[in-house]
Structure 1
Amino acid sequence: MDKNDEELVVRLVELSGNYYQFGLEQGSEVRSLPILKQLEQLGKLNVNSNVQKAKELLKSVSPNLFEELIGLAEGLDMEIDHTVKLFSGYDVAFPQMGCTTLVNDGYYVRNYDFSSEMYDARLVWTNPTDGYASVGFSQQIFGRLDGMNEKGLIVGLHFVNNEYREEGFMATTIVRMLLEQCANMEEALNFITNIPHGYCYNYSITDQSGSSVIVEASPQQQIINFTHPLICTNHFESERLREKNRKEVQGSVKRKDYVSSLLSESLSPMSTYHHFNDESSPLFFTQYKEYFGTLHTVVYSSNDLSIIIGVGGNSKPMKFSLKEYKEGTFVLPEYMKGTIKHNK
């Protein structure tokens, strides 16, 4: 391995039972992991977090996830208020990140670009007694960067801007709530337009009907744009929200244009995976120290609940099935490995 290369290990975490048990188990897990080193960084991001308001909202809009936080607090041997402050994603700032998504012909392919130092490196499989089974990449343990549930609902986030912030939830918590509580597009759109948003994000969403939508979400309003094929990156396109973009959106626009050019080809889920995961691709980045390096490529297929995943670049894809996992006929490995190449 080159001195500029880093081995990236993503753990596969299985959670079953009720949400309190989810939290308790993850608290015990996190206490023994390097993720705990992020807590100090997270605490700095959450200086102004309104813990009481966060607790009230969670109890109202997502009581199951509040139960998970109670279990997490116990597993971490931490006060519940401090746990809510660190993990709930309410009234929290977060560094810039990038991501590119294409939804086409029943599959959803995505590259997630961020820093390996602030990456959970956990693919979490949940099979709750009182909710939808799902699979997704976690962030800050509690949240999800992207994921798919047993009903075929698939959701991912796309950072736009944190300059125009208000008190509300960050995108990772919103993605988690959608996966846990919504069976289809109609339910997801009703939920996402009735919850307080703290920041400016795009959400790319599809379901088993084959419809797909980009939700441009700011704290003040959410714009819904049904589109298929769907291509989503890190800028707003609606006239009402365009002014909330960052000053520099050329890179985001360029990625979207490149994905558009791929549509002239006959794209299968696997061929699209390789277009996204190839280290020479215009969609693959190595600026990990600047919070813009590609950490994973994932293809979720809503029709058969299959998943194709690669960690790092030029990664041999691994295939999984949420359907088989829920049925108990699929044994998950403990981890996936890949290599990321830092800029020289």
Structure 2
Amino acid sequence: MRSYEELIVEVIDVRGSYYQIGLQQSKVLLSHSHPIQNGFPNLTNKTNVQMAKQLLQFHCPSLVQEMEGLAVGLTQTTDSVIKMYSGYNITFPEMGCTSFVQNGKYIRNYDFSPTLYDARLVFSNPMNGYASVGFSQQIIGRLDGMNEFGLVVGLHFVNSEYHDEGFIASTIVRILLEQCKNIEEALKLIRELPHGYCYNYSMTDQSGQSIVVEASPQKQEEKYGNPLICTNHFEATSMKEKNKKNIQGSVNRKHFLNSLVEKNLTTMATYRHFNNGNSPLFFKHYKEYFGTLHTVIYSPKLLEVIVGIGEDAEPIIISFKDYLDEALTLPKRLTGRIYPHNEDGIE
């Protein structure tokens, strides 16, 4: 029998003012050891706290309010919380992600290491902001998510070699979900935000259009597509020079998804292609920060989320619409299994 590790993702429900949401998140942090706190303080040692605070106050003051509540709950200073969780000038290991948008559904694999994975699916319903659901990173940030208007955004690491002062992608995803109702609004805002590293951002909304924004600290390029495929490399001529030297694994994943386009698969058949442990889209190099941790499908028109944790997971369907209508009891956690690969290698 194959050796596996159990992966537990907590389902978090926060609501109220952003300050109150910060307080609620602090209780979760105090009851669980968070990876950023436990052994990885060097990730944030270059953070310019005052600049981070100034930029957030300008672009998304609600996140400052959330971190103020978080600071009170953790009995820390606001500056220390901003340094730890704002995602400004943070250094972070490479990660992989594959997204596919077809027939109004956004499906995605997130590939990283369980040692730096928040393992939190957060349902947030602030009294003075947009409600959203998504997987968190560094508590404040989001790896992917969907808001109450059906805007879906996910991040895709490209390269950390070309960097500047700015936010990591998980903070940018959160800001877009907080501020924007659709792709048009997201495009306007993403051009204004300071980008710390090179990432792709895949997006869709209730209109059915979808887009990839290729973003470096210096500039951003846009590419619409339907269906849309996004992995971990830039394709715009003006951006290719910022790719890693070896992008073949990312290119291979895109080729595989292109082969699925004409099959026009059902939602669940597509899910199986992403979540099956033998799929070219599923990886097990967890020690090298490249193992698939979750598969998620966001449905903007239905306001529905389908989640699978780990490998060959039975998908869990959750109605975000029912959550917004306060007609849903959320599960406390989602569980799955991962089977770490014994060989080295990153795809």
Which TM-score band applies after superposition, normalised by the shorter structure?
over 0.9
CA distance in 1, matches of 2:27, 2:308: 27
Give the secondary structure class of the aligned counterpart of 2:238: coil
Tell me the equivalent position of 1:271.
269
Tell me the equivalent position of 2:345.
none
Tell me the equivalent position of 1:23.
22
**Pairing 1:173-212 to 2, within 5 Å after superposition:** 173-212=171-210
What is the CA RMSD across the aligned residues, in angstroms?
A: 1.0
| Structure 1 residue 40: Cα displacement | 4.9
Tell me the equivalent position of 1:8.
7
- Opposite residue 30 of structure 2, the aligned amino acid is R
**Pairing 1:126-275 to 2, within 5 Å after superposition:** 126-275=124-273
Provide the TM-score with structure 2 as the length reference. 0.97
Give the secondary structure class of the aligned counterpart of 1:11: strand
CA distance in 2, matches of 1:250, 1:120: 28
Tell me the equivalent position of 2:300.
302
Are residues 1:319 and 2:306 paired? no
- Opposite residue 152 of structure 1, the aligned amino acid is G
Q: 4+ runs of 1 displaced by more than 4 Å?
A: none
Structure 1: stretches of 5+ with no match in the other structure: none
Give the secondary structure class of the aligned counterpart of 2:37: helix
| Structure 1 residue 41: Cα displacement | 4.1
Give the length in aligned residue pairs: 342
Give the secondary structure class of the aligned counterpart of 2:13: strand
- Opposite residue 72 of structure 2, the aligned amino acid is E
- Opposite residue 44 of structure 1, the aligned amino acid is N
CA distance in 1, matches of 2:21, 2:193: 24
Give the secondary structure class of the aligned counterpart of 2:262: coil
Tell me the equivalent position of 2:52.
54
Give the secondary structure class of the aligned counterpart of 1:179: helix
Moved more, 44-53 or 12-21: 44-53
CA distance in 2, matches of 1:266, 1:187: 30
Matching residue within 71, 80, 96 for 2:94: 96
Tell me the equivalent position of 1:328.
326
1:32-84 Cα offsets, whole Å, 9 max, x none, are 2021x432544201222111000111111101111001011111111111110
- Opposite residue 204 of structure 2, the aligned amino acid is T
Tell me the equivalent position of 1:341.
339
**Identity score, percent:** 54
1:6-30 Cα offsets, whole Å, 9 max, x none, are 0001010000101001111111210
1:223-242 Cα offsets, whole Å, 9 max, x none, are 01111111000000011110
CA contact (8 A) 1:42 1:86 kept: no
- Opposite residue 61 of structure 1, the aligned amino acid is H
Give the secondary structure class of the aligned counterpart of 1:193: helix
Provide the TM-score with structure 1 as the length reference. 0.98
Structure 2: stretches of 5+ with no match in the other structure: 343-347
Matching residue within 107, 115, 118 for 1:117: 115
Tell me the equivalent position of 1:77.
75
